[in-house]
């Protein structure tokens, strides 16, 4: 099916929702600040601090398990320094998105969704490191937000989504294909429709749009390939939305693997089996991270 | 003695690189307790010294075998590798049946290599028996279990198990295919036994290995870990040759064939993987 048709359909489905969450006020002020050419890091940190929930999330996300070995980051300012100016925008948007969908359990609960998402973020970062992709933070954040369309569908189109999940239960059918069949579009297009409304930067929109079709990417195909592979690995190693779909793959046939090997030929030698076993060991860390991001933050 | 994280990683990496079996972080205490047994036996008092013995001390290779015995024994049971069985039942088997059905070749051949007392082979038999009226109606099913050890083969042929062997067996299968004589005695149904043949085979024996032809599924769990890399490659090449083009080769839950055979493709599925031609 034509991608333009799918995107149009997705935009219609998003437009239909009148109470679509908007970016929380402090986050949008942060984004405004970031547009000022001479903004100081201090100013941004102070703004974030006016929202305690946002501040706590920023710190927790930056302190993901991968960083713990060095020094734990305890202040918003240090978190921003660590992350670098160029990533504050995505981080603010990601936090806003978490906030916007907090407690909005639909066809699946939001925690399971974020466990998969943060899992993909962390695995994307690991792959990025191994492939010597320059911006590992970008891989992490892009991994976290790649599936935002899913949480929208699960909540706003709960009944239909439930039906789809029921249909593919214990059959070897990919969720994305089932969505296409049912709606004529899928969570990638829904996700990008939302991301554009929220003004996510273009590379991130591309990851959301193409993470199931990495060969379509033009802005940063390597980033899309990294997130695609991270998604595949998480889907077979217990960060799989609680086993809602049955994913099976052979790396040799994956387009993302070809893209990545062209970019980083040494990846061809990756011990994939060991890589999987190491990921198994990381699952509890991912679950702890997600729990900590939501802990004490239940909305009154 | 408490196994420090650093030492755990040392042992884990050494064992993985040599034997192709990975110790998950969750198995640290298990490894710790087995190391303690071996250290007591050998009179070694520190992990570092024991590591040195494994790595190059006199009798290191022998000691590694003993350690592997400690960490893999009693692991055999029915329905042991659930992700593998789920994938096989829901996806790999139906696909295979479709391909073979199309060419009118209604025969399924399965090999449990290093079958020990038969749990793996019989688990397959039970799963396939459940499909006798549906997916596998009018199919010929042949399951072969082989082992080098005559004692375990005799146990397999006898088909009498204890509660430990059936600990993972779903209630449905336990009721249907076992007769429980006492709390510790489970007698396997003749219907299941009928489906499996057990024979003696040394996986090193090339002259015999070439006759193990045309299998659709081959299982070889926790056997290759005892072989050195060259023998491993040779044995795996036999499995490769004896596997049907659309068949699958399975190893144990934490095993890896990385660096052993480049011909196989790795197919990932939830909770595990299998190898394919």
- Collect all residues of chain B within an 8 Å Cβ-Cβ radius of residue A250: 265-268, 276
Q: Does B14 touch chain A (CB under 8 A)?
A: no
A300 assigned to some structural domain:
no
CB contact under 8 A, B271 and A273: no
The residues in A 152-181 lying below 8 A from B, measured between CB atoms, are 170-172
Q: Does A238 touch chain B (CB under 8 A)?
A: yes
- Collect all residues of chain A within an 8 Å Cβ-Cβ radius of residue B273: 236, 273, 276
> pLDDT at residue A69 above 50?
no
- Collect all residues of chain A within an 8 Å Cβ-Cβ radius of residue B90: 170-172, 246
Q: Are residues A119 and A194 in the same domain?
A: yes
Model confidence pLDDT, tens digit, residues B136-156:
999 999 999 999 999 999 999
A223 assigned to some structural domain:
yes
Model confidence pLDDT, tens digit, residues A211-241:
999 999 999 999 999 999 999 999 998 888 7
- 3-state per-residue secondary structure call for chain B: CCCCHHHHHHHHHHHHHHHCECCCHHHHHHHHHHHHHHHHHHCCCCHHHHHHHHHHCCCHHHHHHHHHHHHHCCCCCCCCCHHHHHHHHHHHHHHHHHHHHHCCCCEEEEEEECCCCCHHHHHHHHHHHCCCCCCCCCCEEEEEEEECCHHHHHHHHHCEECCCCCCCCCHHHHHHHEEEEECCEEEECHHHHCCEEEEECCCCCHHHHCCCCCEEEEEECCCHHHCCHHHHHHHHHHHHHHEEEEEEEEECCCECCCCCCCCCEEEEECCEEEEEC
* Rounded-to-integer distance, Cα A101 and Cα A144, Å: 14
Instruction: Show me where the domains of chain B are located.
Output: 5-72, 82-276
Q: Does A240 touch chain B (CB under 8 A)?
A: yes
Q: Are residues A37 and A183 in the same domain?
A: no
Mean pLDDT of chain A: 89
Q: Are residues A160 and A114 in the same domain?
A: yes
Q: DSSP labels for A205-253?
A: HHHHHHTT-GGG--S-HHHHHHHHHHHHHHHHTT-STTTTS---B-GGG
CB contact under 8 A, B271 and A170: no
ipTM for the predicted complex: 0.90
CB contact under 8 A, B90 and A238: no
Q: Are residues A109 and A203 in the same domain?
A: yes
Q: Are residues A129 and A56 in the same domain?
A: no
Model confidence pLDDT, tens digit, residues A189-201:
999 999 999 888 9
Q: What percent of chain B has pLDDT over 70?
A: 99
Q: Are residues A145 and A116 in the same domain?
A: yes
Of the CATH numbers 1.10.600, 1.20.5, 1.10.155, 1.10.30, which one belongs to the domain with range B5-72?
A: 1.10.155
Q: Which residue of A has its CA nearest to B252?
A: A273
CB contact under 8 A, A250 and B276: yes
Last residue of a domain, one of A46, A74, A100: A100
What is the structure's pLDDT at A147? Answer: 95
> pLDDT at residue B249 above 80?
yes
pLDDT band for position B74 (cuts 50, 70, 90): low
Model confidence pLDDT, tens digit, residues A169-182:
767 778 899 999 99
pLDDT average, residue stretch A29-48: 90
Q: Does B265 touch chain A (CB under 8 A)?
A: yes
pLDDT band for position A298 (cuts 50, 70, 90): very low
Lowest mean pLDDT among A8-17, A96-105, B47-56: A96-105
> pLDDT at residue A76 above 70?
yes
Last residue of a domain, one of A100, A121, A142: A100
Q: Is B56 exposed, middle or buried (0-12, 13-18, 19+ CB in 10 A)?
A: exposed
CB contact under 8 A, A276 and B268: yes
| Pairs of CB atoms within 8 A across A/B | 65
A269 assigned to some structural domain:
yes
* Rounded-to-integer distance, Cα B72 and Cα A241, Å: 32
Tell me which of B121 and B253 has the higher pLDDT.
B121
> pLDDT at residue B75 above 80?
no
Q: Are residues A203 and A277 in the same domain?
A: yes
Q: Is B80 exposed, middle or buried (0-12, 13-18, 19+ CB in 10 A)?
A: buried
The CATH number of the structural domain formed by B82-276 is 3.40.50.150
Q: Which domain holds residue A30?
A: 22-100
pLDDT band for position B68 (cuts 50, 70, 90): confident
CB contact under 8 A, A250 and B266: yes
Q: Which residue of B has its CA nearest to A172?
A: B91
pLDDT average, residue stretch B158-168: 95
What is the structure's pLDDT at A53? Answer: 86
Q: How far is CA A174 from the centre of its chain?
A: 19
Q: Are residues A93 and A195 in the same domain?
A: no
Q: Does A272 touch chain B (CB under 8 A)?
A: yes
Q: Are residues A81 and A124 in the same domain?
A: no
Q: Are residues A124 and A7 in the same domain?
A: yes
A299 assigned to some structural domain:
no
Q: Are residues A96 and A107 in the same domain?
A: no
Highest mean pLDDT among A60-64, A92-96, A188-192, B70-74: A188-192
Q: Are residues A56 and A135 in the same domain?
A: no
Last residue of a domain, one of A100, A122, A143: A100
Say how many domains are in chain A: 2
């Amino acid at each position: 099916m034509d991608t333009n048709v799918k995107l149009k359909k997705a935009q219609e489905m998003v437009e239909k929702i009148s109470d679509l969450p908007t970016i929380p006020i402090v986050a949008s002020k942060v984004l405004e600040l970031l547009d000022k050419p001479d903004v100081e890091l201090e100013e941004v940190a102070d703004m974030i601090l006016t929202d305690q929930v946002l501040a706590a999330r920023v710190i927790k996300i930056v302190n993901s398990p991968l960083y713990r070995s060095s020094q734990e980051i305890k202040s918003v300012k240090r978190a921003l320094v660590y992350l670098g100016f160029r990533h504050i925008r995505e981080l603010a948007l990601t936090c806003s998105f978490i906030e916007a969908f907090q407690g909005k359990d639909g066809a699946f609960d939001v925690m399971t969704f974020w466990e998969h998402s943060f899992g993909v973020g962390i695995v994307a970062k690991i792959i990025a490191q191994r492939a010597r992709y320059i911006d590992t933070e970008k891989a992490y954040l892009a991994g976290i937000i790649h599936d935002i369309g899913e949480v929208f569908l699960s909540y706003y189109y709960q009944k239909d989504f439930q039906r789809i999940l029921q249909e593919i239960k214990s059959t070897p059918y990919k969720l994305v294909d089932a969505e296409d069949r049912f709606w004529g579009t899928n969570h990638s297009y829904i996700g990008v429709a939302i991301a554009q409304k929220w003004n996510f930067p273009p590379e991130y929109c591309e990851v959301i749009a193409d993470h199931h079709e990495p060969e379509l990417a033009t802005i940063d195909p390597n980033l899309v390939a990294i997130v695609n592979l991270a998604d595949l690995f998480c889907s077979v190693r217990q960060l799989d939305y609680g086993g809602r779909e049955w994913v099976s793959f052979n790396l040799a046939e994956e387009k993302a693997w070809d893209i990545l090997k062209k970019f980083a030929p040494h990846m061809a030698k990756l011990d994939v089996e060991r890589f999987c076993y190491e990921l198994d060991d990381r699952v509890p860390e991912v679950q702890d991270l997600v729990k900590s991001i939501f802990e004490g933050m239940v909305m009154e | 003695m408490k196994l420090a994280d650093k030492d755990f990683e040392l042992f884990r990496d050494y064992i993985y690189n040599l034997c192709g079996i990975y110790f998950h972080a969750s198995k640290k205490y298990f490894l710790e307790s087995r190391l303690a047994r071996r250290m007591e036996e050998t009179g070694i008092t520190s992990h570092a010294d024991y590591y040195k013995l494994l790595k190059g001390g006199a009798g290191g290779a022998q000691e590694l075998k003993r350690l592997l015995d400690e960490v893999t024994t009693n692991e055999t049971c029915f329905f042991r590798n659930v992700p593998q069985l789920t994938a096989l039942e829901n996806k790999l088997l139906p696909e295979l049946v479709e391909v073979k059905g199309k060419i009118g070749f209604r025969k399924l051949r399965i090999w449990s290599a290093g079958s020990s007392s038969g749990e793996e082979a019989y688990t397959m038999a039970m799963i396939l028996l459940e499909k006798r009226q549906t997916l596998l109606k009018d199919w010929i099913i042949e399951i072969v279990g082989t082992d080098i050890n005559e004692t375990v083969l005799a146990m397999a042929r006898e088909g009498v198990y204890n509660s430990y062997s059936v600990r993972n067996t779903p209630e449905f299968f336990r009721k249907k295919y076992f007769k429980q004589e006492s709390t510790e005695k489970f007698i396997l149904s003749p219907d299941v036994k009928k489906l499996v043949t057990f024979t003696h085979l040394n996986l090193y024996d090339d002259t015999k290995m070439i006759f193990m032809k045309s299998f659709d599924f081959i299982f070889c769990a926790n056997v290759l870990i005892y072989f050195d890399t060259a023998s491993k490659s040779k044995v795996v090449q036999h499995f490769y040759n004896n596997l049907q083009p659309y068949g699958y080769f399975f190893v144990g839950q934490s095993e890896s064939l990385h660096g052993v055979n480049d011909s196989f493709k790795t197919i990932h599925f939830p909770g595990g993987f299998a190898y394919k031609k």
